[in-house]
Amino acid sequence: MGDVVAFPSRPEPLWREAVGHELREERRTAERTLADVASDAGVSTQYLSEIERGLKEPSSEVLGAVVGALGLRLVDLTTRVSRRLTRISGPVALAA
C-alpha cells in the first residue's frame, strides 16, 4: 500500500525524435548538407529537416531512401536508435 513509483523527470523520447537525431548525426558526420541528402533520397529539404528534428514520422519507404542516401541500411539505423533509447531509458524488455 505504501509503494512509491518513481517517474523519470524527462519523458522518454519518441521514436521519431531518436530517428531524427541519428539521421542528423550521420549526415553531419558525413559533412553533407540537408539539400544534398534530400536530393539523393528524393524528398524535399524541408521534409528532411522536419524528420531530423523529430517533427515528422516518415514512412518506411522514405526512411529507407534517406538511410540509403546516407550509405546506411535500415538495420543500421534501427540498431543506433535502439542503443540511444537504451542509454536514455535503461534496458528494454522486448518479450514478456
Binning the chain into helix, strand and coil, the percentages to the nearest 5 are 60, 0, 40
In a domain, 78, yes or no: yes
Q: What is the CATH number of the domain that holds 71?
A: 1.10.260.40
Query: Which residues are CB-neighbours of 38 under 8 A, at least 6 positions away?
Result: 44, 45, 47, 48, 69
Residue 8 lies in a domain: no
Per-residue pLDDT tens digits for 6-33: 445 567 788 999 999 999 999 999 999 9
- Tens digits of residue pLDDT in 42-79: 999 999 999 999 999 999 999 999 999 999 999 999 99
Q: What is the number of structural domains in the chain? A: 1
Q: With cut-offs at 50, 70 and 90, classify the pLDDT of residue 88.
A: confident
pLDDT at 91: 55
Domain enclosing residue 42, as ranges: 15-84
